[in-house]
Structure 1
Amino acid sequence: MVLALLNDEQQMLREMMSSLAGSVSAGNPRDIGEIDRAKGWGALAGAGMLGLRVRDGSGAPTGSGVDAMIVAEALGGALAPLPYVGSAVLATELLALAGAPPDLLQRAADGTERHTVLLIPDLSGIATVAGLGTAIAFDCWGAGHALALSDGGPAPRLVRVPLGDAADRGPAADLTREIARFTAAPAAADAEEIGRPLEPADLSRWRALALTVIAADAVGAMRAALDGVVAYSKERVAYGTLIGSFQAIQHMCADALVHCEAASACVSYAAWAADEADPDEALLAAHTAKAYTAIASLDVAETVMQVYGGIGHTWEHVAHLYARRVLLDREVLGDAAHSLLSVADLRLGQRPRPEEG
């Protein structure tokens, strides 16, 4: 496996994002409502993070999949309540691949117009126009429009519909991200086709990047949760002894660290492959990363809860925010079983349907 080794610019990006993410981090549930999301979104836009997947004059994205991975991991670790994954990556990448008008993409990069992606009820794929009545808008804070596909055929068109008052918005199981459901299907006259038809390779590219950044978000949350509980174990005294000296605690945390490092390695390769490998290889790497991260993140979340003990099960503590974040990441665009089946199909040379790519 080829790992994405960060160059000097990417190292600087990681350091910068660590600082930026810290300014919008949630240390407990009360913080979520107090964070200035508009200011945080503006900071991401000012740093150029919202336009990473907008294409330049040569047709290449201005930022790589590795860059997007770095940003997603930092924001996931901070439990930042900003729709970077849903808007700046999933939605903007779809718009760019469909050849959306440059002015629309520029507004997305400036942070002045936000889109989200509509998913089918089990969150495993993009919704079509026929299924808008049951579609779910993922990570949709501040989004004015949502994106769906015209149909489930081999070359669907990208369709934009307004969210507006027709969507019932609210927090997801993950309190740091917002979802919306349509209370009534949008009128056909409100649906706007954008750009050119999306070929199977386009949808494979999109899904490969989408799976990768979702997994990167989970890796960030896993790492931060583990770092926090390790620090806690160095301070918490039980029976007159620091709990971090107990061998059982040490083994649990060591196993969790192995999961974090392995997940990071899988995501790192998938992030590189998203732009550099052919679509099928990129998709295989992304499904592999998503499957492993979905499994590992649950184990890490359980370990964190166990090491914290009773305090970790209280509403005021941060532990359940990490658990909620990774549990939602596990389901978006398919859980571990979904990705493992896709890996098997790709290994056997079978192409999934485009919307399931």
Structure 2
Amino acid sequence: MDFDLTEEQRLLKESVDRLMADAYGDFEKRKHHQDNPQGYSPKLWSQYAEMGLLGLPFSEEQGGFGGGAVETMTVMEAIGRGLAVEPYLATVVLGGGFLRLGGSAAQQEALIPGIAEGSTTLAFAQIERQSRDDLFDVATTARRTDGGWVLDGAKSLVLHGDSAQHLIVSARTAGQRRDRDGISLFVVPADAQGVSRRGYPTQDGLRAAEVLLEGVALPADALLGAEGEGLALMERVVDVALAALCAEAVGAMEALHELTLDYLKQRKQFGVTIGSFQAVQHRAADMLVALEQARSMSMYAAMMAENPDPAVRRPAIAAAKALVNRSAELIGKEAIQLHGGIAMTMEYKAGHYFKRLTMLVNQFGETDTHLRVVAAAGGLSEAA
């Protein structure tokens, strides 16, 4: 595999890094962005669109720029470094991923141009209170009517679900709660009658929502993909999202490591900087090793995210996420310990990176969940 970026990818990286430096270089700007009703800056979101970032993963036929998982990785790394709060994962990677990989021509035509120009946002409503890490644990139901479908159920922790204009909802059209078959996906307008949302801030500075669906009537063409076959599509899109989360974690780890090194070079004890102590240097070196391991696995995940064979793709992505999780935990904990009490003050970045990394570690499954996926596959295949 070639892990070197192309010239176009390097230019993309430089552009996104500049955007994040301008928008988030001053930590106070992040708080200002969060004060908007949406939890992020609509003006900055428009800048994403102007730079082509929102249309990046879509084909030119779909109104995008034809980028792949490596381009998404590049953007997500910059988002991680900046601690950005915009709904890129929710709208472009997840919502856009469902439309790109499973949407009908009519659905793509109706929504993808709006995503690319920044006027349409989406959220993936999948988690339920009982579901833990299992995508197939779905109690929300969708029943057929003469004119289409009626949805009933409740979804939790819908990332950016309080401001999204459309929800991608998983619902059961057949079978029992934990059956792998019988799950379907629907595009639900967030303002549809019967949809109610309660938004709240998350610990890492983003926003999420509890979504209640009570007799939500949808037309027949709201079905996304084939009826009863939604799990395979969910797994494919979530694998792409996991690769994106790996990249975001690498960006956050890199920034936190740099922040910690700067602190070790400035903080003095016993008349010398604490970074001059050998034991402290060893811990900083361990952080660097963990960071570079995570970076390599993030690149690997990006390469594997586009593999259409789930038997190859899923264990590869799971292995990458498990290792990135371990690196994130080590770097996060070491950064807090090496900083001391200042790390957990609200005015200082370190604690916010730690919170974001903690959320990333658990999003779409904690480490043990991904290790079970690798074990069930008998390890990584030779094709990976």
Do Structure 1 and Structure 2 share a fold, with TM-score over 0.5? yes
1:32 to 18, 30, 33: 30
Counterpart contact for 2:126–2:170, Cα < 8 Å? no
CA RMSD in angstroms, aligned pairs only? 2.7
Q: Indicate the residue corresponding to 1:159 in structure 2.
A: 186
Q: Indicate the residue corresponding to 1:93 in structure 2.
A: 97
Q: Indicate the residue corresponding to 1:323 in structure 2.
A: 354
Q: Indicate the residue corresponding to 1:196 in structure 2.
A: 225
Distance 1:103 1:261 in 2: 41
Counterpart contact for 2:161–2:209, Cα < 8 Å? yes
Q: Percent identity?
A: 28
Judged with a 3 Å threshold, the aligned counterparts in structure 2 of structure 1 residues 185 and 289 are, in CA distance, closer, same or farther, namely same
Counterpart contact for 1:3–1:265, Cα < 8 Å? no
1:123 deviates by: 5.8
Q: Structure 2: which 5+ runs fail to align?
A: 34-39, 142-151, 173-178
Cα deviation 1:27-75 (Å, max 9, x = unaligned): 54x5433137112111111111112222343999811101001101100
Distance 1:81 1:317 in 2: 17
Judged with a 3 Å threshold, the aligned counterparts in structure 2 of structure 1 residues 40 and 163 are, in CA distance, closer, same or farther, namely same
1:103 deviates by: 2.6
Correspondence 1:181 to 2:210: yes
Give runs of aligned pairs for residues 100-119 of structure 1, distance below 5 A. Answer: 100-119=107-126
Q: Indicate the residue corresponding to 1:48 in structure 2.
A: 52
Distance 1:299 1:279 in 2: 30
Correspondence 1:146 to 2:155: no
Counterpart contact for 1:149–1:156, Cα < 8 Å? yes
Distance 1:125 1:200 in 2: 10
Q: Structure 1: which 5+ runs fail to align?
A: 350-357
Code of the aligned partner of 1:159: F
Q: Indicate the residue corresponding to 2:19 in structure 1.
A: 20
What SS is found at the alignment partner of 2:123? strand
What SS is found at the alignment partner of 1:52? coil
1:26 deviates by: 6.8
What SS is found at the alignment partner of 2:306? helix
2:300 to 247, 269, 283: 269
What SS is found at the alignment partner of 1:24? helix
Cα deviation 1:260-296 (Å, max 9, x = unaligned): 1101111101101112563322222211111111121
1:187 deviates by: 2.8
Code of the aligned partner of 1:188: V
Counterpart contact for 1:233–1:244, Cα < 8 Å? yes
Counterpart contact for 2:166–2:187, Cα < 8 Å? yes
What is the aligned residue count? 346
Counterpart contact for 2:56–2:64, Cα < 8 Å? no
Distance 1:200 1:123 in 2: 16
Deviates more, 1:139-148 or 1:97-106: 139-148
Judged with a 3 Å threshold, the aligned counterparts in structure 2 of structure 1 residues 141 and 235 are, in CA distance, closer, same or farther, namely farther
Distance 2:283 2:87 in 1: 32
1:207 deviates by: 2.3
Code of the aligned partner of 1:116: A
Correspondence 1:169 to 2:196: no
Judged with a 3 Å threshold, the aligned counterparts in structure 2 of structure 1 residues 123 and 105 are, in CA distance, closer, same or farther, namely farther
Judged with a 3 Å threshold, the aligned counterparts in structure 2 of structure 1 residues 132 and 17 are, in CA distance, closer, same or farther, namely farther
Cα deviation 1:155-198 (Å, max 9, x = unaligned): 743212344571111111211x111112x334331587244315
Q: Indicate the residue corresponding to 2:147 in structure 1.
A: none
What SS is found at the alignment partner of 1:149? strand
Q: Which has the higher strand share?
A: 2
Counterpart contact for 1:225–1:304, Cα < 8 Å? yes
Counterpart contact for 2:63–2:116, Cα < 8 Å? no
Q: Which has the higher helix share?
A: 1
Distance 1:135 1:196 in 2: 23
Distance 2:90 2:302 in 1: 17
1:238 deviates by: 1.4
Q: Indicate the residue corresponding to 1:355 in structure 2.
A: none
Correspondence 1:308 to 2:344: no
Counterpart contact for 1:139–1:178, Cα < 8 Å? yes
Counterpart contact for 2:335–2:350, Cα < 8 Å? yes
TM-score where L is the length of structure 1: 0.88
